[in-house]
Amino acid sequence: MSDPFDFDLFVIGGGSGGVRAGRIAVSEHGAKVALAEESRMGGTCVIRGCVPKKLMIYAASHPAAAAEARGYGWPEAQVGRFDWPAFRGKLHAELDRLEEIYERGFLVAGGTLFKQRARIVDPHMVELADGRRVSARQILVATGGRPALPDIPGAEFGLISDDLFDLETLPRRVLVVGGGFIACEFATIFHGLGCETVMIHRGDKVLRGFDDEMRVRVGYQLEGIGIDLRLGVNATRLERRGEGVRVRFDDGRTEDFDAVMFATGRNPNTEGLGLEEAGVKLGRRGEVIVDRWSQTQIPSIYAVGDVTDRVNLTPVAIREGHAFADTVFGAQPRFLDHAVVASAVYTRPNELGTVGLTEEQAAERGPVEVYAAHFSGMRDKFAGSTSRVAMKLIVCQTTLRVLGVHIFAPEAGEMIQLAAIAIGMGATKADFDRTVAVHPTLAEEIVTLRHPERRHAGPQADTVAQAAQA
Ligand code: NDP
């Protein structure tokens, strides 16, 4: 009997999650796979997110590297002028190369690519922008997210992170709005590239959701390197002023900037995809509701990555896509455990690396001990930098398991990746203690923390204590 479907799998979205799912389904499990991408293969991470952002962080790090070199006996070390057009050209050449790798990898594996928008018509049918209809046994939605602009007059005069990689010239004076990953990283980039940088955040600390102490440290560092960080402030109106933008703030001030960048979060990209019409349930923010197998309540439609608004990180989307392909096409059912996912915020000079529970989250669950170290790293101190490293282990007093690790240090992203293995394995404080230090490093502090800096008795004990005082 002939197959009633054109394809076994139709993937909508050629970003990290969609490409991984499609490639594994076709190359490892022999499925017949098609993928539609309306923009560029590689998606947010490769084309307008993690990759160009990290390269810009490297570019922005060089003035500080020159300052450090002067501290190490190179009195003439200077970076001189930053050639933005030259850097931007090289950046785009690199992104083109990566896009080509993504596209070729999928095609060589045996996938069929439609470089156009696709929309779901029914649980087994998609319609392409050119009007063609294609049927598939399974459909995977992997359309990611898109930046959300605040609902204020003139918001359209602001830039989003996607726009920055294409700027003709760098702004002399820039305003960054927001206090999340993107705001902290881009304020660091602008400042490092020589722009006068103002950052506003409506909250009292940047990086909501991270460990409170580390949030304060990141804020101090942003200020310390010369960013004008204003907390508890928001923008209420933007107006075009010649080539620049005039911003009115809710503290009554009005100021002019050459550019304003909104880093005020991202929304799942589900508009106009035909999902609800096909019976797929969406959440309050428009996210596709899925179970742990990434399956929607329409059995033939699945979704992975930022469009599901679970943990919005590239490696998570990749794992979800891979698990989906193995489960549905490889008869190897598995799903991703989102509980222990490490992440890093690439600020400078210190990055923030984090895995597991924050001190606040852990203290809400039970009795915990907090082991901490705060110090000037040898390398920074010698160079004359006042930057300070902070490391913290959150340990369950009952099981002695390490519930969370938070590192604020140069290359903390690299360190936390390795700490995440230990946390995922359920390592105890004794396992950390048994590990012999690598000396002299910053990371050795994490295995030499002897005494808890403080303890939290846990929520029940706190309630009893409060009741006793009342
Ligand atoms: P986040 O959700 O991390 O932060 C959004 C920020 O904008 C918050 O500080 C929020 O404030 C603020 N905000 C939201 N709405 C408004 C508003 N109307 N007016 C003023 N401020 C507002 O989003 P990002 O855009 O920084 O990042 C998007 C996603 O990208 C994240 O989920 C992250 O996972 C991912 N990402 C990861 C990176 C990494 O791994 N290094 C790097 C960059 C992005 P409040 O806290 O008060 O809500």
Give the tens place of pLDDT for each residue, 86-120. 999 999 999 999 999 999 999 999 999 999 999 99
pLDDT tens sequence across 124-177:
999 999 999 999 999 999 999 999 999 999 999 999 999 999 999 999 999 999
pLDDT tens sequence across 42-77:
999 999 999 999 999 999 999 999 999 999 999 999
Tell the residue nearest (CA) to atom 16 of ligand 1. Answer: 264
Over residues 294-314, mean pLDDT: 98
Question: Is residue 354 within 8 Å of 360, Cβ to Cβ?
Answer: no
Q: How far apart are CA 183 and CA 201, in angstroms?
A: 9
* CB-neighbour burial class of residue 121 (10 A; exposed 0-12, middle 13-18, buried 19+): middle
pLDDT band at 467 (very low <50, low <70, confident <90, very high): low
Active site residues: 439
Tell the residue nearest (CA) to atom 22 of ligand 1. Answer: 264
pLDDT band at 3 (very low <50, low <70, confident <90, very high): confident
33-47: buried (b, 16+ CB within 10 Å) or exposed (e) per residue?
bbbbbebbbbbbbbb
Tell the residue nearest (CA) to atom 36 of ligand 1. Answer: 181
Tell the residue nearest (CA) to atom 23 of ligand 1. Answer: 265
State the closest ligand 1 atom to the C-alpha of 207, by its place in the atom list counted from 1. Answer: 9
Query: Is there a cis peptide before residue 63, judged by omega within 30 degrees of 0?
Result: no
CA of 126 to the centre of ligand 1 (A): 32
Tell the residue nearest (CA) to atom 41 of ligand 1. Answer: 345
What is residue 464's predicted lDDT score, i.e. its pLDDT? 54
Q: Which of the following CATH numbers is that of domain 155-264: 3.50.50.60, 3.40.50.300, 2.70.70.10, 3.40.640.10?
A: 3.50.50.60
* CB-neighbour burial class of residue 173 (10 A; exposed 0-12, middle 13-18, buried 19+): middle
pLDDT tens sequence across 206-259:
999 999 999 999 999 999 999 999 999 999 999 999 999 999 999 999 999 999
pLDDT band at 466 (very low <50, low <70, confident <90, very high): low
Q: How far apart are CA 188 and CA 174, in angstroms?
A: 12
Average pLDDT score, the chain: 96
State the closest ligand 1 atom to the C-alpha of 306, by its place in the atom list counted from 1. Answer: 32
Tell the residue nearest (CA) to atom 19 of ligand 1. Answer: 150
State the closest ligand 1 atom to the C-alpha of 344, by its place in the atom list counted from 1. Answer: 41
Chain position carrying tokens 């002028």: 81
CA of 134 to the centre of ligand 1 (A): 36
Among residues 353, 360, 328, 371, the alpha carbon closest in space to that of 415 is found at 353
Q: DSSP letters along 91-132, please? A: HHHHHHHHHHHHHHHHHHHT-EEE-S-EEEEETTEEEETTS-
What are the domain boundaries of the chain?
7-147+268-329, 155-264, 343-456
State the closest ligand 1 atom to the C-alpha of 264, by its place in the atom list counted from 1. Answer: 7
Indicate if the pLDDT at residue 465 is higher than 60: no
Q: Which whole-number Å values give the CA distances from 291 to 122, 281, 296, 309, 374, in the listed order?
A: 20, 11, 7, 12, 41
Ligand 1 pocket test: which of 16, 149, 222, 264 has the largest number of ligand atoms within 8 Å of its C-beta? Answer: 264
CA of 5 to the centre of ligand 1 (A): 41
Token digits of residue 32: 């017949």
State the closest ligand 1 atom to the C-alpha of 312, by its place in the atom list counted from 1. Answer: 34
Q: How far apart are CA 12 and CA 118, in angstroms?
A: 7
What is residue 336's predicted lDDT score, i.e. its pLDDT? 96
CA of 230 to the centre of ligand 1 (A): 16
Domain pair 7-147+268-329 / 155-264, same fold = yes
Query: Other CB atoms closer than 10 Å to residue 305's CB: what's the count?
Result: 36
pLDDT band at 463 (very low <50, low <70, confident <90, very high): low
Decide: helix, strand or coil at residue 273.
Answer: coil
Token digits of residue 280: 């797929």
CA of 208 to the centre of ligand 1 (A): 9
Over residues 282-308, mean pLDDT: 98
What is residue 462's predicted lDDT score, i.e. its pLDDT? 58
Q: How far apart are CA 46 and CA 438, in angstroms?
A: 34
* CB-neighbour burial class of residue 200 (10 A; exposed 0-12, middle 13-18, buried 19+): buried
Question: Is residue 248 within 8 Å of 237, Cβ to Cβ?
Answer: yes
Is the pTM higher than 0.85? The answer reads yes
Residues in the chain: 470
CA of 149 to the centre of ligand 1 (A): 11
Q: Going by C-beta distance under 8 Å and a sequence separation of 6 or more, which residues neighbour residue 58? A: none
What is residue 69's predicted lDDT score, i.e. its pLDDT? 98
Tell the residue nearest (CA) to atom 32 of ligand 1. Answer: 312
CA of 270 to the centre of ligand 1 (A): 19
pLDDT tens sequence across 343-401:
999 999 999 999 999 999 999 999 999 999 999 999 999 999 999 999 999 999 999 99
Among residues 100, 103, 104, 89, the alpha carbon closest in space to that of 52 is found at 89
The CATH code of the domain at 7-147+268-329 is 3.50.50.60
Show the CA angle centred on residue 411, arms to residues 393 and 227, nearest 5°.
100
CA of 265 to the centre of ligand 1 (A): 4
State the closest ligand 1 atom to the C-alpha of 50, by its place in the atom list counted from 1. Answer: 42
Architecture of domain 343-456: 2-Layer Sandwich (3.30)
Element (H, E) at 325: helix 314-329
Ligand 1 pocket test: which of 48, 181, 266 has the largest number of ligand atoms within 8 Å of its C-beta? Answer: 181
Strand-pair category, 301-303 with 133-141: parallel
Tell the residue nearest (CA) to atom 24 of ligand 1. Answer: 265
CA of 470 to the centre of ligand 1 (A): 40
Q: Which whole-number Å values give the CA distances from 344 to 60, 319, 395, 407, in the listed order?
A: 17, 18, 21, 9
Q: Which protein residues touch ligand 1 with a CB less than 6 Å away?
A: 150, 177-183, 185, 201-203, 208, 234, 263-266, 312-313, 343-346
Indicate if the pLDDT at residue 2 is higher than 80: no
Question: Is residue 427 within 8 Å of 402, Cβ to Cβ?
Answer: yes
Tell the residue nearest (CA) to atom 25 of ligand 1. Answer: 265
Question: Is residue 375 within 8 Å of 359, Cβ to Cβ?
Answer: no
Q: At what angle do helices 62-71 and 181-192 cross, to 10 degrees?
A: 60
Start-to-end Cα distance in the chain: 77
Q: How far apart are CA 394 and CA 379, in angstroms?
A: 27
DSSP code, position 199: E
State the closest ligand 1 atom to the C-alpha of 343, by its place in the atom list counted from 1. Answer: 40
Q: Which whole-number Å values give the CA distances from 63 to 69, 194, 228, 378, 408, in the listed order?
A: 10, 9, 18, 20, 21
